[in-house]
Amino acid sequence: MKKIKKIDIHAHCNIYGDIAPNYLYNPTTLITPEKLLEFYDKLNIEKGVLLPIVSPDAHHQLLTSEATKTAVDKYPDRFLWFCNADPRQYATGKNDKPDYKHIIAHYKSLGAKGFGEFTTNLPVEDERMQRLFGICQELNLPVTIHISPAVGTSYGIVDDKGLPQLEKTLKKFPKLKILGHSQLFWTEISKSDKRELYPWGKVEEGNLARLLRDNENLLCDVSAGSGNRAFMRDPEYCAKFVEEFSDRIFYGCDICSELNTHPFVFEEFLDKMVEDKMISIDNYNKFVRLNAEKLLGL
Ligand SMILES: [Zn+2]
């Protein structure tokens, strides 16, 4: 069977990759657009959504919106992009209520399709964060989030177990679409999970399904070890989850290094789920491509 070409909802690349420093834990740096496209060709991915990284707590390299757009301009058939900003910027001195609208509207006018990866290490309910969510709703830009357990622990927007602050935000901004991503988003899939990085084993339906049922504007970014493993850990639950939320799940990779292998493992898993008829071909097509086409207006 010839499979539909995929869209990767979660990608990063560095046009300066050749001169950037290596990671602490492996001898590579953030992947270049060219190397990322080699992955895409092997994984039957037509396009990826490039996400800038602008919070200093997030990474050893900042990826500006401008550099990200430059990669898109070089390969316009292969990449789309979201823009990014950090609400702590400009927040000093007299101007303690900075207005980001003109910045984000500027990027939107240049073609940005959304906002993220939002990794600012502040509580979701912080006024600066809420203002930013409001602007994205006003500008009709979906937001991709990475969740952290507490300020000062790891990068990401901060919420408690059960994601109560996120839920309040979803209700306050009902037209804002939020793409949930990261370990602490996906540990909500199972009741039994502690807030640890990569839980495994059978899923006992957790808070995530309820959040999705109660909040139509919550979407799932199934990228990275966190999203991929949340699907792979329990194929029966995965089948149910995909069936119920087939319009709100988005295939993604989050390839950060040329040594990453997780997208190939996930590829094998998905193929088997389709072959075993645990995921219908219609839902597979929505998951790997059609939902993204709709969200991004392609
Ligand atoms: Zn990412």
**What CATH number is associated with residue 281?**
3.20.20.140
Q: Look at phi and psi of residue 224 and say left if phi exceeds 0, alpha if psi is from -120 to 50, else beta.
A: left
Residue 141 falls inside a structural domain: yes
Task: Determine the distance separating the centroid of ligand 1 and the alpha carbon of 33, expressed in angstroms.
Answer: 15
pLDDT value, residue 193: 72
Burial class of 108 by CB neighbour count within 10 A (0 to 12, 13 to 18, 19+): middle
- State residue 93's pLDDT score: 46
Phi first, then psi: give them for residue 91, nearest 5 degrees: -95, 20
How far apart are the C-alpha atoms of 232 and 189, rounded to whole Å? 12
pLDDT at 84 over 60: yes
Report if residue 3 sits inside a domain.
Answer: no
- The angle at the Cα of 142, spanning 171 to 107, to the nearest 5 degrees, equals 130
Q: How far is the CA of 12 from the centre of ligand 1 (A)?
A: 7
Residue ranges making up the domain that contains 27: 12-296
CA–CA distance, 14 with 61 (Å, rounded to integer): 9
What per-residue confidence (pLDDT) applies to 208? Answer: 97
What is the pLDDT at residue 95?
54
Token pair 């399709």 is at which residue? 113
pLDDT at 98: 58
Using the mean position of ligand 1's atoms as its centre, give its distance from the Cα of residue 1 in Å.
31
- pLDDT, tens digit, 9 for 90 and up, residues 27-58: 888 999 999 999 999 999 999 999 999 998 87
Range in 88-102, 104-118, 186-200, 210-224 the model is least confident about: 88-102
Residue with the bigger pLDDT between 40 and 95: it is 40
CA 172 to chain centre: 21
Can you give the pLDDT at residue 96?
56
| Confidence (pTM) | 0.95
What token pair was written down for 149?
A: 């357990």
- Burial zone of 180 (CB within 10 Å; 0-12 exposed, 13-18 middle, 19+ buried): buried
Which residue in 267, 258, 282 sits closest to 231, CA to CA? 267
Evaluate if residue 141 carries a pLDDT over 70. Answer: yes
Q: 52: CA distance to ligand 1 center in Å?
A: 9
pLDDT for residue 91 is more than 90? no
Please answer whether residues 155 and 58 qualify as being in contact, where contact means their C-beta atoms are separated by less than 8 angstroms. yes
Centre of ligand 1 to C-alpha 144, Å, is 9
Q: Measured in angstroms, how far is the CA atom of residue 207 from the centroid of ligand 1?
A: 23
Domain count, the chain: 1
23 — phi, psi (to 5°)? Answer: -60, 160
Question: Could you tell me which residues are beta bridge partners of residue 47?
Answer: 7
> Mean pLDDT across the stretch 94-123?
88
**Once rounded to an integer, what is the mean pLDDT over residues 210-238?**
97
Note the pLDDT tens digit of each residue in 277-296: 999 999 999 999 999 999 99
Q: Is 95 or 272 the better-scoring residue by pLDDT? A: 272
Q: Classify residue 213: in a domain, yes or no.
A: yes
Higher pLDDT, 62 or 94: 62
Helix (H, G, I), strand (E, B), or coil: what is residue 143?
A: strand
> 93 C-alpha vs ligand 1 centroid, how far in Å?
32
Residues 6+ apart with CB under 8 A from 21: 29, 60, 61
Any domain includes 254 = yes
| Interatomic CA distance for residues 248 and 96, integer angstroms | 36
Amino acid at position 61, single letter: Q
Query: Residue 199's CB: how many other CB atoms inside 10 A?
Result: 19
- Evaluate whether residue 246 is within a structural domain: yes
Residue 223 Cα to ligand 1 midpoint, Å, equals: 8
Residue 192: burial class (beta carbons within 10 Å; 0-12, 13-18, 19+): exposed
Q: Residue 136 — very low, low, confident or very high, per pLDDT cuts 50/70/90? A: very high
Q: Which residue has the higher pLDDT, 56 or 111?
A: 111
Between the CA of 276 and the centroid of ligand 1 the distance, in Å, is 30
Identify any residues that bridge with 148 across adjacent strands, giving them in sequence order.
158
Residue 73: predicted pLDDT: 98
pLDDT tier, 100 (very low <50, low <70, confident <90, very high otherwise): confident
Q: Does the pLDDT of residue 88 top 90, yes or no?
A: no
List the beta bridge partners of residue 200. none
Report yes or no on 6 lying in a domain.
Answer: no
With respect to residue 5, please indicate whether it lies within any of the assigned structural domains.
Answer: no
Q: What is the mean pLDDT of residues 16-28?
A: 86
Is 199 among the domain residues?
yes
Average pLDDT, the chain: 93
